[in-house]
Amino acid sequence: MMKKAVMQFTACCLAVGITFSSFGTVAFADNNRSMTLAGLSETSTVVSSSSTTLVGLSETDTVVSTGGAQGATTTVETADETSDSAAEISETDTDAADTTVDETADTEVGTDTAEAASVETEAQTETEAVYDTSLSGELAFAQCENYINVRAEASADGEVVGKVYNNGSVTILGQLGDWYEVQSGNVTGYVNAAYFAIGEEADEIAEAVAYNVATVNAEGLWVHSEASEDSSTIGMVYSSDQLEVVSYEGDWMKVVLEDGTYGYINAWYVSYDTYYSTAETLEEEQERLDAQWLAYLAEQEAEAAAAEAEAAAAAEAAAAEAAAAETAAAETYTETYTDSSSTSSSSSASLSEAQAAVDEAYQTYLEAQEAADAATQQADEQLVYDTYDEAVAAYQDYLSAVAVADELKYSAATDTSTSTTTDTSSSETTYTEAAASTETTYTEAAQTEAAQTDTAQTTSTEAAATTTTTSSSSSSSTGQAIANYAVQFVGNPYVYGGTSLTNGADCSGFTQSVFANFGISIPRTAAAQASSGTSVSLSDIQAGDLLFYSDGSGISHVALYIGNGQVVHASTSSTGIIISSYNYRTPVCARRYWS
């Protein structure tokens, strides 16, 4: 409507000759006449040189005529000012609007930023673990195969400060994510919560692994056999004594005494404490391991000392047994010789009969000795002892036969049988010479069976007696050194397949180890040793030579000759390493390795 009214007003102005410039000036066609403009009020007249109120203008909108017929202009100052004010207002409104928009935009952006920051804070809060103390003071138990590490931080990369072993206890201080902060023994740190039992499960474990201790408060307290004052007493415990509690039964506790005896004490007179296994620091662990290692070493030393003492006692017992056996044999020989001499002096037995008895007894002894040697190759220990006893008995019979024959020979030669019977020293010397001559006779017979005659036997007997004396006086220093070294192991055990001079060796293992001490290498078996080295005639043997014996099918035994008609050898498992007469069995050959 406003626009339409303005257009009507403009048309009226044009009809009466009023025009408007771009500067807001009103020109009149005739300045000398007054007029009333259509659409204006009666009081709104336009006159030259006077103010005119125009329709549509406010009472303060004055039109001023500047005069002049042509191009007269009237400046609407108030309108211009109003227009300027309106423009300023418009600019102000625009600025205000812009400011409002900017502020609104800023407010919206700020709100978005605040919301984003809030979301980020919430996300950060969700990722950061919160320290929870709801389980503080609760007892937990490790459940693992061996142990769980306690770390300085709640991380698998944290430094290890201690260890909790399976069923070990910890007190929870708090929880940080998947980790418990715990205290146990002298250790404080973090453990993985997945490996610890809490709640009812922990209660069950606690009951199973608890170590309960009763500390006696009374000056003296009876220990009863039953949970009753009327039961018998089995001991007494005293103030501050600590006892392991097996069970708690009403007013009575079942306890274990120092000697392992179970008994009952009145619970009213003791204090009761429960202990659980706790963690240990790395230093405590090292101290414990060191103590265990030292205890192990001490135990090993004690076992070694006990074994050594046992071996020494066994060797001593074996030596004593051997000495007793020799003494008994000597006594038996003396008695037998005396009895035989007395009998022979009063009997008419001929020398040939006595010699036949010697041969038969010796053959019996050889068979018994072979049986004893064969028994050592079997696992039947009783058989070894039985065959050994039979061999000893056969040897004693042989000695008795030799003594009888010896006495007859001596009586025939000197016709003084009585003095021979009473002179023990002379009898023993005669026995040695006779035994040597007899054994040599069998040796030479075995080597030269085709040429065996009575004359050869007599010659061999004389040669053997001479050899015994010669070999003892002409032994080389090297051979004698070997012999002297070997005899120090007498009394040590015989072990089949062994080569130890102290812990046990068989016959060839013994000789091999003796020679090895002098840097001399010889074969391992008796048969191989008999086929190596330098062959030596049995009539020329010296200390340090090896003598070999046969079981009829091959070489079965080896001994080391030490002079004076004796050998040292690893005999049997029942006798060990002993010294024997060189011809206790018939040697079939000799070998020398030291020259």
Q: What is the DSSP string of 190-204?
A: EEEGGGEE-HHHHHH
Distances (CA, A) of 551 to 368, 370, 527, 557, 586: 11, 6, 12, 8, 10
Torsion of CA 439, 444, 449, 455, to 10 degrees: -90
**For 442, which DSSP code?**
H
Report how far residue 78's alpha carbon sits from residue 62's, in angstroms, rounded to the nearest whole number: 7
pLDDT of residue 256: 93
Counts of helices then strands in the chain (DSSP H, E): 12, 28
Q: Which of 13, 224, 507, 589 is catalytic?
A: 507
Structure tokens at 255: 């306890």
Report how far residue 206's alpha carbon sits from residue 340's, in angstroms, rounded to the nearest whole number: 88
Q: How many CB atoms lie within 10 A of CB 385?
A: 15
pLDDT of residue 250: 87
Structure tokens at 87: 């423009």
Q: Which of 12, 13, 224, 569 is catalytic?
A: 569
**For 213, which DSSP code?**
E
Residues of the chain short of pLDDT 50, as ranges, are 1-3, 6, 16, 18-94, 96-97, 99-111, 114, 119, 121, 123-126, 344-348, 416-475
Structure tokens at 236: 């007494």
Helices (H), 246-350: 282-346
Specify whether 507 is catalytic: yes
Distances (CA, A) of 188 to 164, 178, 195: 11, 17, 17
Q: What share of the chain is helix, strand, coil (3-state, %, to 5)?
A: 50, 20, 30
pLDDT of residue 21: 41
pLDDT of residue 8: 57
pLDDT of residue 448: 38
Tens digits of per-residue pLDDT, 102-158? Answer: 444 444 444 455 455 554 545 444 456 799 999 999 999 999 999 999 999 999 999
Backbone angles phi, psi at 561, to 5 degrees: -75, 130
Q: Name residue 134's amino acid.
A: S
pLDDT of residue 172: 97
Q: Which of 12, 13, 144, 557 is catalytic?
A: 557
* 3-class secondary-structure state, position 556: strand
For the chain, how far is it from start to end, CA to CA, in angstroms? 157
Report how far residue 555's alpha carbon sits from residue 271's, in angstroms, rounded to the nearest whole number: 81
Report how far residue 19's alpha carbon sits from residue 11's, in angstroms, rounded to the nearest whole number: 10
Report how far residue 484's alpha carbon sits from residue 514's, in angstroms, rounded to the nearest whole number: 10
Specify whether 224 is catalytic: no
Structure tokens at 447: 């080597």
Report how far residue 185's alpha carbon sits from residue 169's, in angstroms, rounded to the nearest whole number: 9
DSSP 99-161: HHHHHHHHHHHHHHHHHHHHHHHHHHHHHSPPEE-TTTT-EEEE-SSSEEEEESSSSTTSPEE
